[in-house]
Amino acid sequence: MVALTVEAPAAYVAAGQRIDIEKVSHQFELEGEPLPVLDEVGFSVEPGSFVALLGPSGCGKSTLLRLLAGLDHPTEGALKVDGTVVGDPDPSRILVFQDPTLFPWRTVWDNVALGLEAQGILKSSRHRVDKAIELVGLGGFDKAYPHQLSGGMAQRVALARALVNEPRLLLLDEPLGKLDSLTRLTMQTELVKLWQEAGLTAVLVTHDVEEALFLTQRVLIFGPRPARIVADITVDLPYPRHRGDPRLAELRREALGHLGLAATW
């Protein structure tokens, strides 16, 4: 459904993964009391699509991404990626955290290279590191340490560190949350480009309704904790999109309505 004009670079041609989430419930323990966070959440994501998760703060969006990444395991239900139940974390599906979480003792290049180094294939694939850094527009900053980068640059390094592994599922937890609005707009456009070029499945968690609608093909809206899906909006607009598109405004009203904010708009 996406009109692609950008040619995929040879390095990133892996196809996206399919996600099936089946009646997943999850709860934490808080001061001895069980804290239900996800309540029978179920949905599927087609391979290669770009989906946004939207919902009130603390409803369980990050938790769901962590479950998908394999960092935690659900109390009930099953998460399947390409038909297989999610086990331990795997570089084929990478979570990009809200904070860049770069390794401060590694340079930009070494941060990006760590995944390949761990797989023992760095020697033969150094060009992939260079390419990933180039892709996020940080060529020339190879030798910089994380403390020498701006917030937006650090976030881009985190993105490169994920992309270099050629993930087939990219889980983005408010990757643009802390950026200033200008950098944010630029990065939004770049994210769409990256997704198109890499041909992967991407799941984006965000607070920002416009961001969700502008970037993705489908917006899942969660209710307050414990989260269940209250709406599933298809964004039927081709890329590249225009922020002023009246259809986006319409969809935004709809989304805000589901979030209980209709009165203010």
Partner 1 sequence: MSSIETVASIPLPLRGRGKTASAAPCSGGPALQRITPVSSAGHGIPRWARRLSGPLLLVAAWHLASITGVLPGEVLAGPSTVLSSAAKLIATGELQEAMLVSLRRALTGLAIGGSIGITLAIVAGLFRLGEDLVDAPMQMMRTVPNVALIPLLIIWFGIGEAPKIALIALGTAFPLYLNVYAGIRNVDSTLVEAGRTLGLSRAAMIRHVVLPGALPSALVGLRYSLGIAWLALVFGEQINATAGIGYLMANAREFFQTDVIVVCLVVYAFLGLAVDFTVRTLERIFLAWRPAFSGA
Ligand X SMILES: Nc1ncnc2c1ncn2[C@@H]1O[C@H](COP(=O)(O)OP(=O)(O)OP(=O)(O)O)[C@@H](O)[C@H]1O
Question: Which residues of this protein are in contact with ligand X, per CB under 6 A?
Answer: 28, 30, 35, 37, 55, 57-63, 207, 225
Query: Is 165 a binder of Mg ion (CB under 5 A)?
Result: no
Cβ-Cβ contacts under 8 Å for 249 (sequence gap 6 or more): none
Closer residue to partner 1, CB minimum distance, 117 or 210: 117
Q: Can you give the C-alpha Rg of the chain in angstroms?
A: 18
Residues 152 to 171 in contact with partner 1, rule: CB under 8 A: 161-162, 165
Residue 232 to residue 260: CA distance in whole angstroms = 15
Q: Is 106 in the site for partner 1 (CB under 8 A)?
A: yes
**Complex with Mg ion: residue 168 or 225, whichever CB lies closer:** 225
Binds 35: which of partner 1, ligand X, Mg ion, none (CB < 5-8 Å by kind):
ligand X
Report CA-CA distances (Å) from 36 to 55, 88, 224, 253: 16, 23, 11, 29
Check residue 90 for interaction with partner 1 (CB under 8 A): yes
Strands across the sheet containing 33-45: 33-45, 19-30, 76-81, 84-85
Interface with partner 1 (CB under 8 A), residue from 114, 230, 231, 249: 114
Of 22, 25, 145, 190, the one binding partner 1 by CB under 8 A: 145
Contact by Cβ (8 Å): 149, 141: yes
C-beta of 30 vs 182, nearer to Mg ion: 30
Told to check if 62 binds Mg ion by CB under 5 A, we report: yes
Q: Is 118 in the site for partner 1 (CB under 8 A)?
A: yes
Q: Least Å distance between CB 64 and partner 1?
A: 15
Question: Smaller CB distance to ligand X: residue 146 or 223?
Answer: 223
Residue nearest Mg ion (C-beta atom): 62
Residue 105 lies near partner 1 (rule: CB under 8 A) = yes
Least Å distance, CB 172 to ligand X, is 12
DSSP conformational letter for 147: G
CA 7 to chain centre: 22
Q: Which H/E stretch holds residue 10?
A: none
DSSP classification of residue 146: G
Give the integer Cα–Cα distance in Å for 96 and 170. Answer: 8
Residue 103 interacts with partner 1 (CB under 8 A)? yes
Number of residues engaging partner 1 in binding (CB under 8 A): 29
Q: Closest by alpha carbon to 95, among 118, 77, 125, 72?
A: 72
What would the two tokens of residue 172 be?
């983005």
Q: Locate all alpha helices (DSSP H) within 77-171, ordered by sequence.
A: 108-118, 126-135, 151-163
* Shorter beta-carbon distance to ligand X: residue 58 or 89: 58
Q: What residues line the site for partner 1 (CB under 8 A)? A: 69, 71, 88-91, 94-95, 97, 99, 101-107, 114-115, 117-119, 145-148, 161-162, 165
